[in-house]
Structure 1
């Protein structure tokens, strides 16, 4: 039973590396886990489908945030940002990548649209990337950094949800911690991500690279032309809608309500005509629907691993030979967490599972609450960087492959795994051992 998680995740990983569609790869991995656990094909499929409800809230949030992002783009305000990047940073690859990482970081705290901004901001820049011979793998790393590092380190916006999830999950399992504790715990892993970003920009992907035509498969997306846009009153009202969505999301800690607030304000201010509401929602579903569906399927896969006891068995076997050496215990727990979270692909969704497994082991081994939080938070974050099913990898690919020249696994997943999961693992391990 303890091999179920490892084998099923390997199935998903190998199929993904062989360029099998990520949804098919996750379904195959889920069925493999079910069959290895003694379930039939029918039972495995039913459990997979039943488990898809676990990410329904997240999937709906993404679709609504996608509609909100489409409404924002309707005003042309993103064109101002795109034109600024083109005018100021053309020919300056390093500054362009740092700027993209910075703007992406705002999507977690200041402008709560998460990955929904990518299909709007990135496609108009693809032609410029090609002219500059920019390695799109570096752009993918920069985007994933902005989607992850802010919530890992900063307890505000999406970060507040992440840190509260760690606190609540640990408290429920007998370890008392606070937001200040998790902030301290996740500082080192966050610094590890900064190191990974700098290595990718200044060393790994510094050289020129031409995008390969058709590398990402056929695509029906039309890359928009960049137009000159001047700031006007609609842009002012759009900014109000953005801040309104942020405030509601922070108060309620609910992405759905935040997105709905933003959309409602856009319609109330007549920034977007009410008659265009259906089109905007439809475009939002078209832009974010496939990613939302991947998250649903990934949730079903996670349910199979959890309900069949595969995760429990893996941790139980691992804890049996850990001994009392904290360095070894931290290493094994993170390794187990890596396999678990790669399969599920969601840091927010896996933290409660990890806390239930980690807290008893860490308390018995004498880890401090802060060190335990570092292990849980780091293991959860590992699922968002380098997983084929993660929104933090699917999002960058959705923008960079708008012209069919960017492959999800080799151009996004592998680079982000190398530059973020490895330093996350190392820095998270160090935090657990020394805090």
Structure 2
């Protein structure tokens, strides 16, 4: 039995049974380590050591939650809600509903895409933008599974295709690891090679919008437990914008989301929008809102460490080679499926590339695949599973905003919809691209 396959299946089955994701990852890692021939004591030690690899990420998300809550005190979310209500109409008149849905979903899609490339704040915008809009979604009866699908598209597709922001990081990782694995490529070819897989993501999004979730879905207007809003002022909006600019500038200058969030919080502090005697509970509430993501990322890091130590990723590939028998089409398909399994388990496409490139590149060369096809297979296999993985920030982010009133389930309302609408088209279009390139 392959330890990677068993560990990922255990984690996914437990998650689908609504077992806490952190617990599911820990149990999956434990079983995977034992199946991989690692002793119980060593498995626990490896898992514990791996937790530290995501400590900075977990702290980043906690501080981003605090920053989002601090910015909310400036009145910016109230301004967003008021704008949305103007679009919708106070009573959400029927004649405006279709246009209102399109406009709001389009705005969310654009902001999600910009968060990866134009203004690389990643998921930091979600707790700031989405919770205040929930009542608007309810009024329009928008299916939150659709909103989750839209946001995840914006969090994944831009970095796959565009070499800017997080996309530049992904393309750099892809280029470096392919080169170090024995194949020299032109970095500019990555965008061309990833064009068809990106088109697959577009097809999945359109299917979700026009077929899967086009019907209205009813939610209750539930008090989110936040403090009563006091409206917004021009000064408050200016402070919020300055805080966002400060956070973005510092993040880009020092390459740290932690200090970027701190910079934004300091601006809100000294503006007077957040009183000193109220700061601690406000920031604590914000950190609590994002804490779940941090814990999942920590657990996923330990899970990934155990999988790497088993050595069964390579064994999984070697086992597949026997089935391939020199068949390029079958080889491409199996490599994409293996990439899906690995990324679903560890929850990070950026971390998957170094794991699979060292194995996939020599295999592609042995099968006689072109450099463009090799780029497509490794790049697509890395991105596969980012949408749909219970441990991915591309699914945890949407859930953090949509589930604040406890009417949105992380697994069944975010992970399953995004898995079906994006991973299936990615495999199909990635496979086609690898054959024709």
Equivalence for 1:46: 45
Q: Distance in 1 between matches of 2:127 and 2:216?
A: 24
Residues 382/240 of structure 1: CA separation in 2 closer, same or farther (3 Å cut): same
Q: Distance in 2 between matches of 1:351 and 1:144?
A: 20
Note if contact 2:399-2:414 (Cα within 8 Å) is conserved in structure 1: yes
Note if contact 1:112-1:157 (Cα within 8 Å) is conserved in structure 2: yes
Shift of 1:327: 1.7
Shift of 1:281: 4.5
Residues 281/127 of structure 1: CA separation in 2 closer, same or farther (3 Å cut): closer
Equivalence for 1:72: 71
TM-score calculated relative to the size of structure 2: 0.89
Cα deviation code 1:247-277 (max 9, x no counterpart) = 4544554434544444455556666567766
Residues 243/163 of structure 1: CA separation in 2 closer, same or farther (3 Å cut): farther
Where does 1:298-309 land on structure 2 (aligned, <5 Å)?
298-309=300-311
Matched residue pairs, number? Answer: 428
Q: Distance in 1 between matches of 2:106 and 2:29?
A: 38
Shift of 1:340: 0.9
Q: Distance in 2 between matches of 1:414 and 1:224?
A: 33
Equivalence for 2:347: 345
Where does 1:151-162 land on structure 2 (aligned, <5 Å)?
151-162=159-170
Q: Distance in 2 between matches of 1:225 and 1:208?
A: 29
Where does 1:288-303 land on structure 2 (aligned, <5 Å)?
288-303=290-305
> RMSD of aligned C-alpha atoms?
2.6
**Quick check: 1:166 aligned with 2:196?**
no
Equivalence for 1:222: 225
Note if contact 2:69-2:282 (Cα within 8 Å) is conserved in structure 1: yes
Cα deviation code 1:144-202 (max 9, x no counterpart) = 11221222222222222222221222222222234422222222222211111111011
Equivalence for 2:104: 96
Equivalence for 1:430: 432
Residues 70/208 of structure 1: CA separation in 2 closer, same or farther (3 Å cut): same
Equivalence for 1:391: 393
Q: Distance in 2 between matches of 1:188 and 1:268?
A: 48
Cα deviation code 1:106-126 (max 9, x no counterpart) = 222334332232223222222
Q: Distance in 2 between matches of 1:254 and 1:83?
A: 33
Q: Distance in 2 between matches of 1:258 and 1:118?
A: 16
Residues 70/315 of structure 1: CA separation in 2 closer, same or farther (3 Å cut): same
Shift of 1:291: 0.4
Gapped runs of 5+ residues in structure 1? 214-218
Shift of 1:228: 4.3
Note if contact 1:144-1:393 (Cα within 8 Å) is conserved in structure 2: yes
For residue 186 of structure 1, the aligned residue among 183, 191, 194 is 194
Where does 1:392-407 land on structure 2 (aligned, <5 Å)?
392-407=394-409
Residues 207/385 of structure 1: CA separation in 2 closer, same or farther (3 Å cut): same
Q: Distance in 1 between matches of 2:197 and 2:363?
A: 21
Note if contact 2:138-2:220 (Cα within 8 Å) is conserved in structure 1: no
Equivalence for 1:420: 422
Q: Distance in 2 between matches of 1:13 and 1:77?
A: 38
Equivalence for 2:34: 35
Equivalence for 1:211: 219
Moved more, 246-255 or 120-129: 246-255
**Quick check: 1:63 aligned with 2:62?**
yes
Q: Distance in 2 between matches of 1:335 and 1:143?
A: 24
Residues 381/82 of structure 1: CA separation in 2 closer, same or farther (3 Å cut): farther
For residue 108 of structure 1, the aligned residue among 108, 116, 121 is 116
TM-score calculated relative to the size of structure 1: 0.90
Equivalence for 1:359: 361
Q: Distance in 2 between matches of 1:225 and 1:142?
A: 29
Residues 203/407 of structure 1: CA separation in 2 closer, same or farther (3 Å cut): same
Gapped runs of 5+ residues in structure 2? none
Q: Distance in 2 between matches of 1:181 and 1:262?
A: 37
Note if contact 1:238-1:271 (Cα within 8 Å) is conserved in structure 2: no
Equivalence for 2:147: 139
Q: Distance in 2 between matches of 1:351 and 1:388?
A: 19
User: SS of the residue aligned with 1:210?
Assistant: coil
Cα deviation code 1:307-329 (max 9, x no counterpart) = 11111110111123323332211
Note if contact 2:75-2:231 (Cα within 8 Å) is conserved in structure 1: no
Equivalence for 1:235: 237
Moved more, 421-430 or 123-132: 123-132
Equivalence for 2:17: 18
